[in-house]
Amino acid sequence: MSLMPEDKRPIWIVIAAYNEAKRLGNTLQMLINSVAEFSVTIVVVDDGSSDATFDMARTFPVWVLRHPINCGQGAALQTGIDFAVSQDAHAIVTFDADGQHDPNDIRMMLEPVLSGKADIALGSRFLGRTANVPWTRRLLLQAAILFTRMTNGLKLTDTHNGFRAFSRRAAQTIRIRQPRMAHASEILDQIAKHRLSYVEVPVTIRYTAETMAKGQSSWDAFRITGHLLAGRFWR
């Protein structure tokens, strides 16, 4: 069953935001407009921003949480998920604060989770329309796909996409312990470990010069690998 206006099951959207005061307003406005008719609640987790991200979030009808220090995107997402679960969320969507994701894809992301076909829906930019992907980024993502297939056996087309939908059960089962960018790989490891059912959903990602400048560099792949190894060593 896809998301319908009469569906009153509580859906939560979690947005982790760090120094996103400039873009967050636009993202929230688009999001609120696209989900206005549904039973959707948005929670923004300000990850210790030094700009006006917190104040910006508070100008919208959303829940706002604030980390007193910058902990990383993985940590902020887990905080938002914890909060949503404590408020009896039926399904949870994670959405980027910088406007890269298209709010119109949310219904498609939720469809397999709400219908019970899968515990988790993972957004894939390579199944959907993705604008302006730099070739270095494409190469890096392909390497990540190969790495994921080798380490946990999941056959995916996109392994580092922040657009995901979790059932309540999946949100309670998965525990993100990697505070920074390695959380994306950690989530996939836990999907494999707990044998959660998953499905990939085509989504649109919009790359802009601004988001690319703030996003991960190719060298971060080495840092992420280091964090993953550290996470396995010091449990």
Partner 1 sequence: MNLFQWLTLPCLTLLAALEIRMYVRNHQGIHLVREFVWLVAIILILFPKLTSRIAAILGIGRGTDLVFYLFMLFTIVAMFHLYGRNYVLRRDLVELARREALLSATTGRGHPSGNSDPSPPSPKMENESE
Q: State the residues that interact with partner 1 by CB under 8 A.
A: 43, 45, 48, 57-69, 71-72, 75, 78-79, 82-83, 85-87, 172, 175, 177, 179, 230, 233-234
Q: Using the minimum distance from each CB to partner 1, give the nearer residue, 31 or 205.
A: 31
> CA geometry: angle at 134 spanning 124 and 96, to 5°?
45
> CA geometry: angle at 101 spanning 95 and 102, to 5°?
115
| Token pair recorded at residue 47 | 């990850």
- Do 20 and 45 meet the contact criterion of CB atoms below 8 Å apart? no
Calpha distance 159→149 (Å, rounded): 10
Q: Using the minimum distance from each CB to partner 1, give the nearer residue, 60 or 207.
A: 60
- Minimum separation from the CB atom of position 70 to partner 1 (A): 9
- Minimum separation from the CB atom of position 184 to partner 1 (A): 17
Name residues whose C-beta falls within 8 Å of residue 14's C-beta, 6 or more positions apart in sequence.
43, 45, 77, 80, 81, 83, 84, 92, 93, 94, 95
- Minimum separation from the CB atom of position 26 to partner 1 (A): 15
Q: Using the minimum distance from each CB to partner 1, give the nearer residue, 58 or 206.
A: 58
Q: Using the minimum distance from each CB to partner 1, give the nearer residue, 151 or 172.
A: 172
- Minimum separation from the CB atom of position 89 to partner 1 (A): 12
Q: How far is CA 69 from the centre of its chain?
A: 20
Q: Using the minimum distance from each CB to partner 1, give the nearer residue, 68 or 153.
A: 68
- Minimum separation from the CB atom of position 147 to partner 1 (A): 21
**85 exposure class (CB count in 10 Å sphere: 0-12, 13-18, 19+):** middle
